[in-house]
Structure 1
Amino acid sequence: MHRNSYSLAALAAAAVPGLVPARTTPIATPDEDLDVAGIIGEQGRRVLVQSPSTTASGVRLERDLKVADALSGTPLQGVIPPVLGFVKLSEGGRATVTEAPVGRPLMLEDLQGSSELARSLGQVLARIHTVPRYAAESAGVESFTPEVLHAEHRARILAAKADGYLPAAVSQRWETLLEDEELWDIAPQFIHGDLSEESLFVSGESISAVRDWSSSKVADAASDLAWLISSLDPERFDDLYSAYRDELPTSTHPRLVERAQALGEFAVAEWLAHGVETQDETIISDARGMIADLDADLAQLARDEAERAYDEMAAREAHEDRA
Structure 2
Amino acid sequence: MVAVDEVEVVIAHDERATLRVGEVFLKIDADRARLDAEVEAMTLAPIPTPRILWRKPPVLALAALRGTTLGTLGQPSTASPAAWAAAGAALRSLHDAPLPPWPGRSVDKLAADLEDECEWLLANEVLPTGVLPADVVTHNRRIAETVLRPWTPAFTHGDLHVAHVFAEGDTITGVIDWSEAAPGDALFDLASLTLGHPERLDDVLAGYGDADRDLIRAWWSMRCLLAIRWLAEHGFDPNAPGCEIDVLRAQM
What is the TM-score of this pair, normalised by structure 1?
A: 0.60
Measured after TM superposition, the shift of residue 25 of structure 1 is 7.6
Q: Which residue in the other structure is 2:44 paired with? A: 70
Q: Report the Cα distance in structure 2 between the residues aligned to 1:295 and 1:145, rounded to whole angstroms.
A: 27
Structure with larger Rg: 1
User: Where do 1:22-101 residues align within 5 Å?
Assistant: 22-23=3-4, 29-31=10-12, 33-39=17-23, 48-50=24-26, 52=28, 55-56=30-31, 60-71=34-45, 75-76=46-47, 79-86=48-55, 88=56, 93=57, 95-101=59-65
Q: Report the Cα distance in structure 1 between the residues aligned to 2:225 and 2:95, rounded to whole angstroms.
A: 25
Aligned AA (1:231): G
Is the aligned partner of 1:232 residue 2:197? yes
CA gap of 1:151–1:201, structure 2 versus 1, over 3 A, is: same
Which consecutive residues of structure 2, in runs of 5 or more, have no partner in the other structure? 127-131
Aligned-pair Cα RMSD in Å: 3.7
Measured after TM superposition, the shift of residue 168 of structure 1 is 5.5
Number of residue pairs matched? 241
Measured after TM superposition, the shift of residue 283 of structure 1 is 4.3
Q: Report the Cα distance in structure 1 between the residues aligned to 2:68 and 2:169, rounded to whole angstroms.
A: 10
Q: Which residue in the other structure is 1:13 paired with? A: none
Q: Which residue in the other structure is 2:92 paired with? A: 126
Is the aligned partner of 1:273 residue 2:224? no
User: Where do 1:197-276 residues align within 5 Å?
Assistant: 197-234=162-199, 236-245=200-209, 252=211, 255=212, 257-274=213-230
For residue 231 of structure 1, give the secondary structure of its aligned residue in structure 2: coil
CA gap of 1:192–1:27, structure 2 versus 1, over 3 A, is: farther
Structure having greater relative contact order (Cα 8 Å, sep ≥ 6): 2
8 Å contact from structure 1 (residues 28, 198) kept in 2: no
Is the aligned partner of 1:157 residue 2:118? yes
Measured after TM superposition, the shift of residue 258 of structure 1 is 1.7
Of all paired residues, the percent bearing the same amino acid is: 22
Which consecutive residues of structure 1, in runs of 5 or more, have no partner in the other structure? 1-19, 40-47, 246-250, 299-323
CA gap of 1:149–1:269, structure 2 versus 1, over 3 A, is: closer
Please give the per-residue CA displacement for 1:126-185, whole angstroms capped at 9, x wherever unaligned: 12222212xx11xxx43222232233223322332344566454344234335548x634
For residue 195 of structure 2, give the secondary structure of its aligned residue in structure 1: helix
Is the aligned partner of 1:21 residue 2:9? no
CA gap of 1:167–1:31, structure 2 versus 1, over 3 A, is: closer
CA gap of 1:213–1:203, structure 2 versus 1, over 3 A, is: same
Measured after TM superposition, the shift of residue 264 of structure 1 is 1.8
CA gap of 1:239–1:273, structure 2 versus 1, over 3 A, is: same
8 Å contact from structure 1 (residues 154, 178) kept in 2: no
Q: Report the Cα distance in structure 2 between the residues aligned to 1:219 and 1:128, rounded to whole angstroms.
A: 12
For residue 22 of structure 2, give the secondary structure of its aligned residue in structure 1: strand
For residue 152 of structure 2, give the secondary structure of its aligned residue in structure 1: coil
Aligned AA (1:209): G
